[in-house]
Amino acid sequence: MTTLPTRSGLAELSAQGRLGLAWHALPWVLAFVVFYMAEGYLSLWTNALIMILLTLSLDLALGYAGIVTLGQAAFFGFGAYAAGLFAIHVHNDPLIGLVTATALSGLFGFVTGILILHTQGVTLLMLTLAVAGLLAEWANRAYEITGGDDGLQGVRMGPVLGLFRFDLYGKTAYLYSLAVLFVWFVVVWRIIVSPFGRSLDGIRQNPARMRAIGTPVWWRLVAIYTISAAMAGTAGALSAQTTRFVGLTTLSVLVSGTALVMLMLGGTRRIYGAFLGATVYVIVQDYAAKVNPFYWMFFIGALLMATVLFLEGGLMDLGATVRKYWRRAPVKKP
Amino acid sequence: MSSFITVLLDGLAYGMVLFIISVGLTVTMGLMRITNVAHGGFAMVGGYLAAMMIRAGVPFFPAAILASVAAGLVGGAVEMTVLRPLYRKGELAQVLLTFGLTFVFIAGLTLLFGTNSQAVPLPDYLSGSVHIGFRDYPAYRLFLIATGLVLAVFLWLVVDRSLYGAKLRAAVDNPRIARAVGINVNRLFTGTFIAGCGLAGFGGVVGAELLMLEPFYALKYLVVFLVVVVVGGLGNFKGSFVAALAIGIIDTAGKFFFPNISAYFFFSLVFVLLLWRPNGLMPAKSAA
Amino acid sequence: MTATPALSVSGLSKNFGALAVAQSIDLDLVPGARMGLIGPNGAGKTTFVNLLTGMLRPDAGSISLGGEPIDRLKPEDRVRRGLARTHQINTLLNETSVCENVAIAIAERDRIAWRTLRFGPQWRACLDEAQDRLRQIGIAEVADRRVSELPYGQQRLLEIAIALALKPRVLLLDEPAAGVPSAESHVIHDVLEQLPADIAILIIEHDMDVVFRFAREITVLVQGRILTRGEPAVIAANPEVRAVYLGRSVV
Ligand SMILES: Nc1ncnc2c1ncn2[C@@H]1O[C@H](COP(=O)(O)OP(=O)(O)OP(=O)(O)O)[C@@H](O)[C@H]1O
Ligand SMILES: [Mg+2]
């Protein structure tokens, strides 16, 4: 019996037995190692967790379902503003705020998804950009509500579960984000190994085939887009709650682009690709940006191009790719 | 009434710039089927180079021409090295690669020229104004309108009437058959790409007064360029001309009459338009 | 016969611009029918299938499945009511395993494809059934391979296996052996012989030997219009048919 190539993350995930389980524990163990080792840098790592969440949300929509979007920032920013405004005007409990922001982002994703997912290709790409553009424009104009260019200031959070205050060292923020990430991770995992996830994988590969077996393609896409939007909204909300600030940049196309870079860097459809890509990105960026942020941008652009050209599976597939080129190298063209 | 005509002229001038920059994009996306989000980068490269040359003493027109040629050559180099492997890959790979390329443009120009915006000084004869019956009007904008018209007619002749245009349409309709009858498809695409990027570079130079040159130019105006192409119908040359002018006029009018909500207005319009006609106002399968 | 037809088409018309690809087509399939649809290249056979499945919207005419009109149903709902098809050009999930290609269809048929919770046993049942179906059709040994690794002929069989997995009432086979070397096509024809007797089948096929053996009735389509229909022997003897069709494109 031949096994599937490593590329098929689905088969891999579902095929792993108990030994796999230990493997799956690794990232979370590392997360705790970081917690104890990275004192003073926890806010950076919290940001990494948030970016992982954002990247994972993009992986669902783009990686699995094949919805080519440049508008993920719309949901990230929406969630961030929703959580910030909720904390200021309604209640400062983080969890209630988080759930509210998540639900609202999901709703926003649902409504826009219903509208735009009929289209494909560049048109869809443009529409995702337009949604983010509209929202950014609103946030910029509605100075009274959002603080416009100055950003949303004065977000004060109560303690998590009424027990854990957000401390100066960012310990609570880190663990809180980690817990939220874990919850979403479990959801994502369930989705991608489920029949629902497999149908999305099918839609990405060949929508005509899925229609021919009776799949309501559009509804499936709307569903995953909604979930992805909710998830990106959670990431934005976490960002608002842990940094106590929401800026206009949360809605910029750069956020969408960054998420794309992180996803491609790590590898799509690998679930841990998002973890790897986002972590590497955030950490390296922290060093590089101190030198000159534009060196970093140059590097990221070049890296993205190189990834597309030479490393299709991202870092998760680095081993396999290297082996492939290694083996191919000595063979002369016929 | 006179403000109405002024807005119309301003819109036309802006629309012509959009057309000059986007026409290359409609070819790459519609004909070569490359989803290219880096197109604004070539316009930006052209603009920057011209700004640099003019500062160094080169007169406006030679600088504009040289900068366009340079932008075209950069485009050719990009096409031959990184885009060609992507012709048969999916849209996602193309979006990602060109997105990375946009980052490289932005960061590269910033590293070389800093984050400030670049002025492209106009020659004296373009910076004055001309009396047009009811008021004085900037000569520069009239120049844009004239240039756009001349280019549009010229391009239409090339695509519609020349052997090159016929070859291009053949290659797009069916690359395999085109190859079989001896058309060098690769060279044709490269040449077309160079021309498109050169035009974008030219648009970047002459449009610098309207679309300010700064490092994030390529991302900032991306949506506008894409809108022209998509609304005009991918690969539809005449469609993108009409779309560019319409968008130029509507956007200018929006800014003039409803300054507070003009950006909403623009995005909402795009949104509604694309939902209503996902394939643009004039969908077309082949050129012209 | 008075039984409700499994599929009933009347007055179906469709134009692509100036090209009339379907001109007032009438067609009935009784349950268990074996209908051959033949016609020269570009006659509109595939278009006809696309009109039936809802991939294309007809300009006029009506379609009913088991007596119920399905004109307003979306393609996926038509499939759910029991109208399945195969494609002239393979339309498969190339990165997915052969077995899962079938299992996903079964999951869709059994309405468990929305599930993200408590799907384990059902999904395993889908996989088991998929295995069985692959065995029946003779490609069980490649069940775990990626579709893209399969030879074309086996991919053609997979097309059929997927359609059958939907347990259709009506099955539309669009040139099931298209693209397969003639030396191997008998494998596909053997599979056709063993399709469940209760399914109404419409088969488009260029190989006349196959059609004449398989079909009990043949409809001839020329330029979007039904030229004639009848029993295979009658069709074979029809000089008009010979002129427009047999004389030209049969090898
Ligand atoms: N989407 C479309 N738009 C315009 N014309 C089309 C379209 N699809 C098919 N056609 C044309 O309609 C005609 C019928 O095509 P169709 O594929 O139905 O023929 P067919 O009978 O299946 O032929 P073949 O034996 O080659 O499979 C052809 O002339 C084809 O070019
Ligand atoms: Mg056909």
**Of C75 and B3, more confident:** C75
Tokens representing C131 are 């295995």
**Does residue C100 surpass a pLDDT of 70?**
yes
Lowest mean pLDDT among A325-329, B191-195, C143-147: A325-329
A239 is in which domain, residue-wise? 41-252
Q: How confident is the model at residue A298 (pLDDT cuts 50, 70, 90)?
A: confident
**Does residue A331 surpass a pLDDT of 90?**
no
**Does residue A334 surpass a pLDDT of 70?**
no
Mean pLDDT of chain A: 85
Most confident of A236-240, B91-95, C223-227: A236-240
The answer to whether residue A269 sits within a structural domain is no
pLDDT (mean) for C34-54: 92
CB of C100 closer than 8 Å to CB of A195: no
pLDDT (mean) for B76-88: 87
CA distance C146 to chain A (A): 7
pLDDT (mean) for C155-182: 92
User: In this complex, which of B29, B108, B275 lies closest to A298 when CB atoms are compared?
Assistant: B108
| pLDDT (0 to 100) of residue C202 | 95
CB of B148 closer than 8 Å to CB of B15: yes
User: In this complex, which of C55, C94, C144 lies closest to A2 when CB atoms are compared?
Assistant: C144
Q: Which of A122, A297, A307, A310 is the best substitution to test chain B (most B C-beta atoms within 10 A)?
A: A122
Neighbours of C238 (CB within 10 A): 18
Mutation choice for ligand 1 from C12, C13, C38, C47, CB with most ligand atoms inside 8 A: C47
Q: pLDDT per residue over B107-150, tens digit each?
A: 999 988 888 888 888 888 888 888 877 778 888 889 999 999 99
Lowest mean pLDDT among A324-333, B185-194, B229-238, B239-248: A324-333
SS3 content of chain B, % helix, strand, coil (to 5): 75, 5, 25
pLDDT (mean) for B70-94: 88
The answer to whether residue A262 sits within a structural domain is no
Ligand 1 atom closest to Cα of C224? 14
pLDDT (mean) for A54-69: 94
CA of C41 to the centre of ligand 2 (A): 7
Indicate the pTM of the whole model.
Answer: 0.89
Chains that touch B (3 or more CB pairs under 8 A): A
Mean pLDDT of chain C: 89
Q: pLDDT per residue over A105-163, tens digit each?
A: 999 999 999 999 998 888 888 889 889 988 988 888 888 888 878 888 888 887 878 77
Q: 């390296």: which residue's tokens? A: A284
**DSSP collapsed to 3 states, chain C:** CCCCCCEEEEEEEEEECCEEEEEEEEEEECCCCEEEEECCCCCCHHHHHHHHHCCCCCCEEEEEECCEECCCCCHHHHHHCCEEECCCCCCCCCCCEHHHHHHHHHHHHCCCCCCCCCCHHHHHHHHHHHHHHHHHHCCHHHCCCEHHHCCHHHHHHHHHHHHHHCCCCEEEEECCCCCCCCCCHHHHHHHHHCCCCCCEEEEECCCHHHHHHHCCEEEEEECCEEEEEECHHHHHHCHHHHHHHHHHHCC
Lowest mean pLDDT among A203-217, B162-176, C6-20, C103-117: B162-176
Query: Options 3.30.450.20, 3.40.50.300, 2.30.33.40, 3.40.50.920; which CATH number does C7-91+167-244 get?
Result: 3.40.50.300
**Does residue C239 surpass a pLDDT of 90?**
no
Q: How confident is the model at residue C120 (pLDDT cuts 50, 70, 90)?
A: confident
| pLDDT (0 to 100) of residue A329 | 57
pLDDT (mean) for A163-190: 89
CB–CB contact C123 A195 (8 Å): yes
Mean pLDDT of chain B: 86
pLDDT (mean) for B70-79: 94
Residues in A 284-303 with any Cβ partner in B closer than 8 A: 292, 294-303
The answer, yes or no, to whether any atom of ligand 1 lies below 6 A from the CB of C47, is yes
| Of C165, C134, C99, C136, the residue nearest A3 (C-alpha) | C99
The answer to whether residue A231 sits within a structural domain is yes
**Does residue A291 surpass a pLDDT of 50?**
yes
Q: How confident is the model at residue C116 (pLDDT cuts 50, 70, 90)?
A: confident
ipTM of the modeled complex: 0.91
Q: What angle do CA C29, C32, C38 make, to 5 degrees?
A: 50
Query: Does A99 contact chain B (CB < 8 Å)?
Result: no
Task: Give me the number of domains chain A comprises.
Answer: 1
| pLDDT (0 to 100) of residue C130 | 94
Q: How confident is the model at residue B184 (pLDDT cuts 50, 70, 90)?
A: confident
Judging contacts by C-beta atoms under 8 Å, the chain A residues touching residue B37 are: 70, 125
Q: pLDDT per residue over A73-94, tens digit each?
A: 999 999 999 999 999 999 889 9
**Does residue A244 surpass a pLDDT of 70?**
yes
| pLDDT (0 to 100) of residue B119 | 85
Most confident of A32-41, A110-119, B135-144, C116-125: A110-119
| pLDDT (0 to 100) of residue B106 | 92
Say how many residues make up chain A.
334
Ligand 1 atom closest to Cα of C88? 27
Q: Quick one: CA dihedral C82, C83, C89, C91, positive or negative? A: negative
Q: Which of A10, A192, A198 is the best substitution to test chain C (most C C-beta atoms within 10 A)?
A: A198
| pLDDT (0 to 100) of residue A138 | 86
Q: Quick one: CA dihedral A303, A308, A312, A313, positive or negative? A: positive
CB of B180 closer than 8 Å to CB of B173: no
Q: 């393979």: which residue's tokens? A: C90
Strand partners, C65: C7, C68
**Of C246 and C168, more confident:** C168
**Of A58 and A307, more confident:** A58
User: Domain limits of chain B?
Assistant: 2-118+135-221
CB–CB contact A195 C79 (8 Å): no
**Of A316 and C110, more confident:** C110
Share of chain A above pLDDT 90, in %: 46
Question: How far is the C-alpha of A250 from the C-alpha of A133, rounded, in Å?
Answer: 12
Q: pLDDT per residue over C3-17, tens digit each?
A: 788 999 999 999 988
**Does residue A26 surpass a pLDDT of 90?**
no
Lowest mean pLDDT among B46-60, B122-136, C130-144, C146-160: B122-136
The answer, yes or no, to whether any atom of ligand 1 lies below 6 A from the CB of C39, is yes
User: In this complex, which of A122, A298, A305 lies closest to B111 when CB atoms are compared?
Assistant: A298
